[in-house]
Chains A and B, each alone.
Chain A
Amino acid sequence: MAKVVVVTSGKGGVGKTTSTAALGAALAQFGQNVVVVDFDVGLRNLDLVMGAERRVVYDLINVTQGIAKLPQALIRDKRLERLALLPASQTRDKDALTEDGVARVINSLKQMFDWVICDSPAGIERGATLAMRFADTAIVVTNPEVSSVRDSDRIIGILDAKTVKAERGERVDKHLLISRYDPARAARGEMLSIDDVLDILSTPLLGIIPESEEVLRASNLGSPVTFNNPSSAPARAYLDAARRLMGEEVEMTIPTEKQGFLGKLFGRRAA
């Protein structure tokens, strides 16, 4: 049975799109059939992070309006055929996305894939509520920083109220993905620790993604970090998180960069 996952956060810039791309790619690397769906109407970016921006023909709204059939709008990843992207529209008309339309598309996608991963826009407006509307599972991306934690708390409340599952009296399975974490700064008391964040949000942890230059490198190239450098610290963190999503028991660690001989010699970081 296909699982519908929403990647959400409330706050912008915390790593929703990066995480959607990386987790989607990671699940596909484990043999799953995955589609990542961009819900950020008017400001799509998942296509760019996935490296498919030059191949967009049709989008989510074209499909909901019947202008294009779903298989025509899906862009198959060139590196891994089992991974597909459904891009958002660049239209400025946000009302073009309707609940019925989204319901139909999600239901069709569930027949075709094992995982339907919805990349939510920032905020709590229509795009964000529609992205989470049909979710079985929610991944709340949080930075260890006050405004992000506060917005995550808001979003957790909305997940418990405004999703189809919540309205049926069921529960959306919620997970926290802490990104841009710097263990050294947390140890020095300069950054909220993992325990602080978990304590405040009391939501189970899916993974800890360390702050890393690999993330920018991957998005420059249009390649999810788990494809671009699978042995890097953030990639290993995302791969572990994907295994937890699949129900595996994986010990929670904060992967660190295995510095090569040259890296050690010149110590590229002194944060």
Chain B
Amino acid sequence: MNLFNLFRRQGTAPVARDRLQILLAYERGSTRGAPDLLAILREEILTAVGRHVEIDSNRVNVRMDRGDKVSTLEVDIEIPNTVRMAPGGGRRKRAVPAHRSAS
């Protein structure tokens, strides 16, 4: 507990309220049929990359952080340098870890 907290004992309720507002805004949306944008982007990014290279699901790391004004979605896909094009794969494309933000 720092000095600042010492003089501001009632400090935690506003934090609780903000956290709940962010969480519930998202949860209400997803239970009432509104699409979860982050989840859609996540799936489509994985599908898009999967069209060009074979993805080892052990080498995929997805992180999300839902914020008030900005949410972030990080999709790290590890692709070996000896990359094999998936059948029907399109143009030759340098595979880099995808990193996207969406609000």
* Contacts from A to B (Cβ < 8 Å): 48, 51, 53-58, 69, 71-72, 90, 216-217, 219-222, 229, 262
Across-interface contacts of B61 in A (CB, < 8 A): 71-72
- What's the minimum C-beta distance from A167 to chain B, rounded to whole angstroms? 34
User: 16 A-B contacts, Cβ less than 8 Å apart?
Assistant: A48-B23, A53-B19, A54-B22, A54-B65, A54-B66, A55-B63, A55-B64, A57-B63, A72-B57, A90-B27, A90-B30, A217-B12, A220-B13, A220-B15, A221-B12, A229-B1
- Report whether B19 and A222 are in contact in the complex, using a CB–CB cutoff of 8 Å: yes
Rounded to whole angstroms, the CA-CA distance of A259 and B27 in the bound complex is 40
Across-interface contacts of B64 in A (CB, < 8 A): 54-57
A232: nearest residue on chain B (CB-CB)? B1
B30: nearest residue on chain A (CB-CB)? A90
Across-interface contacts of A53 in B (CB, < 8 A): 19, 23
Across-interface contacts of B98 in A (CB, < 8 A): none
B64: nearest residue on chain A (CB-CB)? A57
Q: Of residues A51, A54, A58, A90, which shows the largest number of chain B Cβ atoms within 10 Å of its Cβ?
A: A54
Across-interface contacts of B13 in A (CB, < 8 A): 220
- Report whether B65 and A72 are in contact in the complex, using a CB–CB cutoff of 8 Å: no
Secondary structure class of chain B's binding surface, majority of residues = helix
Secondary structure class of chain A's binding surface, majority of residues = helix
Q: A216-B12, A222-B15, A222-B19 are in contact. List 8 more A-B contacts (CB 8 A).
A: A48-B19, A54-B67, A57-B42, A57-B64, A72-B57, A72-B60, A219-B16, A229-B1
Q: Is B62 an interface residue (CB 8 A)?
A: yes
A221-B42 contact in complex given A55-B65, A57-B62, C-beta closer than 8 Å: no
B13: nearest residue on chain A (CB-CB)? A220
Residues 1-55 (chain B) with a chain A CB within 8 angstroms: 1, 6, 12-13, 15-16, 19, 22-23, 27, 30-31, 42
Across-interface contacts of A229 in B (CB, < 8 A): 1
Across-interface contacts of B12 in A (CB, < 8 A): 216-217, 220-221
Q: Is B82 an interface residue (CB 8 A)?
A: no
Across-interface contacts of B42 in A (CB, < 8 A): 57
Across-interface contacts of A222 in B (CB, < 8 A): 15, 19
Q: Is B58 an interface residue (CB 8 A)?
A: yes
In the complex, which of the residues B16, B60, B65, B66 contacts A220, with contact meaning CB atoms closer than 8 Å? Answer: B16
Q: Of residues B27, B42, B63, which shows the largest number of chain A Cβ atoms within 10 Å of its Cβ?
A: B63
Rounded to whole angstroms, the CA-CA distance of A55 and B62 in the bound complex is 10
- Report whether A72 and B66 are in contact in the complex, using a CB–CB cutoff of 8 Å: no
In the complex, which of the residues A54, A72, A90 contacts B62, with contact meaning CB atoms closer than 8 Å? Answer: A72
Rounded to whole angstroms, the CA-CA distance of A265 and B19 in the bound complex is 33
Rounded to whole angstroms, the CA-CA distance of A53 and B27 in the bound complex is 11
Rounded to whole angstroms, the CA-CA distance of A222 and B19 in the bound complex is 9
Rounded to whole angstroms, the CA-CA distance of A266 and B65 in the bound complex is 41
